[in-house]
Structure 1
Amino acid sequence: MAPPPPTVLFVAALGLTLEGVVAPVSRALESHGFRRVAVAGRGSVTPSLRRSFDEVHEITPFRRAGLGGLVRAGRDLARIVRDERPALLHLHTPYAIALGRVVARATRTRHLAVVHGTLFGAAGRSGRIFAAVESASARFTPWYVTENPDDQASYRRLAPRSQVRLAPCGGAGVDVVGLRAARRRADEGGHRAPRVLIMGRLTPDKNLDLAVAAWRLARQTRPDLELRVVGSTVAREPSWAPPEEAGIVPAGWTDDPAAELAAADVVLLTSLREGFPLVVTEALVVGTPVVVVDNRGTRAVARHVREGLLLVPPDATALALALLAQLRARTVQIRPESLLAWQREDVAAFHADRILEAVGGMPTGVARGAGPDR
């Protein structure tokens, strides 16, 4: 009788993360004979998520749930680990990494942490707690994948005996062909007012009041400039609502974000913390210029871009001037080797190879840019 296939248990606080970031990696693992199981906070799993995994479990919600929620979620996760007996826990986002690290040690299960962003250097209580927790416990995780060189350097310092690899792109990469097709469709459209686009989660964490302030200043020079806000709130997260004023056009989340990116004249991102922002990467692939606040993640993207991305300090006047400059320039040029490395299939293969390495298998080596420091 053949032994059962090895199981990889993917853990994230939200089903949204599993669906948007982890599902392509899960699909890339299918041909290697793994059983792929997903775990997320209760109430965040959508029916479509189940198409990319063999099994989906929901546990006590633990994102921003306080110590009690984390303890209950830890018990739930430990029970699932004992039942599933995974070869590897694949952990995503800070809450899941902290929770999964504890459960992995308690159950003696291998684990790999994918760091989509950190709070290192962040001001306030959350930043101090994060730094203290990671300083004390980062060394207990044997394998890391980070999305920018700054986070890679931080974890190499905190976990000097761990393997810390740098992913070629954020999340699961981008659909280059689909994004380029969206640009062609947008170019066929008619004339409209110039548009600045904000797209993503509507939460104060994204520093969206600063984005509005910058747009207002830019509008003093370009009175016809529109601010389109595409996004939605997330459960258990503080919400932000766009002001009701002329020129601001709010919209709910869309099933076709590529069309929104292609229809914009400039994409604006004012978040102070990012791992490797996909909305920025996708906008650049579409061919839409971007203005971003300088942080660990946006600096990582800038390394790959010759023209079309402006890094700016978190200041409304500086951001407004950058918006006006990008409206005039309308030029994007990505390094060709970076564009190849960002493709979704290659990024998913990179993460699949890291999983194979962690469980003692042989990586495929098909992902571009998967050398020793990648």
Structure 2
Amino acid sequence: MLFLAPLGATLEGFVAPVSRALRPYGLRPVAVAGRGSVPPSLHRSFDAVHEVAPFRRAGLRNLARAGRDLARIVREERVDLLHLHTPYAVAVGRVVAQVTRTPHVAVVHGTLFGAPGRAGQLFSVIETVSARLTPTYVTLNPDDQEIYRRLAPRSRVHYAPCGGAGVDAERLRASGPGEPVGERRPPRVVVMGRLTPDKNFDLAVSAWRVARRSLPDLELRIVGSTSIGEPAWVPPDEPGISAVGWTPEPGVELAAADVVLSTSPREGFGLTVAEALVMGKPVVAVDNRGTRGIAEKVAEGLILVPPRAASISSALLSQLRARTVRIGPGVLESWRQENVVAFHASVILDALARSTGGGRREGRGGAVAAPAETVAAGVGQPEAPPAAR
């Protein structure tokens, strides 16, 4: 089967654990990403790694080139199922799936529904017309699930328990032991993410400046790096602000935070928000589809705010005083990486079985187990939504 994303980092961080979990079921995992974005480590989790023309925010011409490259790879690799990640991959992969008559699953990490400008309008038009061409969706929040149930009433629209590959709580806690006992330091707000204007870091800086009027020693820690194909955002150079590149061990930064802040206007699921809560760190987040989905599962410790500096500043000061986190019963278990990976593996095996009528079959890449065998091996079936039953 073939996993497609515009950036290799998406495949490495979110998809690789799912790929490794599928190997015992007779699948040969293949990764495809935009040219120049593939890290060498990706080869450890996939049997083959290919690059296509960069297609994330690269214009219609590059989208067409990526589509031609992908169609060729699908035929050469004799792919049985496409697994598509992010809106750009869904747009390209959906067309290639129709041309090559290959079943596909779309994982909706986030959408542009309601986004201002031409991009949001174009996305809404395309999805309204073509969403029903995708037989299986995985959404990361209730709002997106409801939208795709409406746009694609005959499709199976699943709701994943967590974003990405889930939360590796043990690794987070092991990598972030926290501050040494007895050490005193100024209070610290941490923001994490790709350094791009899309994440609205300017708003985070503005809110921090307002909060400093009440807490003059409040620090702002910015953790992130730029990404290929995106405009860069440069952190301001001023006292109280420190910036470091992205780290493979976010637990270290989260452990040293007093409050975690997310100002991104659009999220399918705020994985950093979930990780911070698992670490026992209070969070302030801009209200969007992804953060609302998380807030439904958190009794205390997450404040959702409108995208205004004054509102964010007030919430930061409130969280610095409270410092209390309580997550709903069963949520931590549902967010665990092994359970989230099992969920995605089950959706994939179910989609493969449905595309060939069920049971065990000889696919283009070899024998593939049916979902019943998967359940027996300890990987549970996803619950079918009412519209799909």
Same fold per superposition (TM over 0.5): yes
TM-superposed CA distance for 1:190, in Å, is: 2.3
| Structure 2 residue ranges without an equivalent (≥5) | 354-369
Match of 1:74 among 60, 64, 67: 67
1:99 paired to 2:92: yes
User: Cα–Cα, structure 1 residues 60 and 336, in superposed 2: closer, same or farther, change >3 Å?
Assistant: same
Query: Unpaired segments of 5 or more residues in structure 1?
Result: 1-7
Q: Among 56, 60, 76, which residue is 1:63 paired with?
A: 56
Cα deviation for residue 368 of structure 1 reads 6.8
* Local SS of the residue matching 1:68: helix
**2:325 and 2:173 mapped to 1: Cα distance?**
13
Q: 1:261 to 1:114 in 2, by over 3 A?
A: same
Counterpart pick for 1:122 among 103, 115, 118: 115
Match of 1:144 among 137, 159, 173: 137
Identity level (%): 65
**C-alpha distance in structure 2 between counterparts of 1:186 and 1:89, whole Å:** 45
- Distance change in 2, residues 1:246/1:221 (3 Å): same
CA distance in 2, matches of 1:23, 1:168: 18
Partners in 2 of 1:138 and 1:189 — Cα distance? 56
Q: Which amino acid aligns with 1:211?
A: A
Contact 2:280 2:324 in 1 (8 A): yes
Tell me if the contact between 1:198 and 1:269 (Cα under 8 Å) persists in the aligned partners: yes
Aligned counterparts of 2:320 and 2:216: Cα–Cα separation in 1: 13
Among 290, 293, 297, the residue aligned to 1:297: 290
User: Offset at 1:255?
Assistant: 2.7
**Residue 228 of structure 2: SS of its match in structure 1?**
coil
* CA–CA distance in structure 1, aligned partners of residues 120 and 329 of structure 2: 36
> For residue 347 of structure 1, what is the amino acid of its counterpart?
V
Aligned mates of 1:188, 1:92 — CA distance in 2: 43
Deviation at 1:188, TM superposition (A): 4.4
Aligned to 1:362: 371
Counterpart Cα distance in 2 of 1:368 and 1:285: 23
- 2:158–2:383 Cα contact (<8 Å) kept: no
Once the two structures are superposed, the pairs formed by residues 286-365 of structure 1 within 5 Å of their partners are: 286-360=279-353, 361-362=370-371, 364-365=374-375
Q: CA deviation at 1:367?
A: 5.4
Distance in 2 between residues matched to 1:23 and 1:183, nearest whole Å: 23
Number of matched pairs: 367
* Post-superposition offset of 1:34: 0.5
Greater Cα offset, 293-302 or 185-194: 185-194
For the residue of structure 1 that corresponds to 2:278, the secondary structure is helix
1:178 corresponds to which of 171, 177, 196: 171
Q: Which residue of 2 aligns with 1:51?
A: 44
Question: Deviations for 1:141-191, whole angstroms, at most 9, x for unmatched residues?
Answer: 000000001000010110000000000000110101122334544464722
Residue-by-residue CA offset, 1:203-227 (whole Å, 9 max, x unaligned): 1101111111100000100000000
* Aligned: 1:260 with 2:269: no
What's the offset of the Cα at 1:27?
A: 0.9
SS at match of 1:336: coil
Cα contact 1:347–1:367 (8 A) shared by 2: no
Separation (CA, whole Å) in 2 of partners of 1:67 and 1:189: 57
Note the aligned Cα RMSD (angstroms): 1.4
Distance 1:88 1:164, change over 3 A: same
C-alpha displacement at 1:336, in angstroms?
2.9
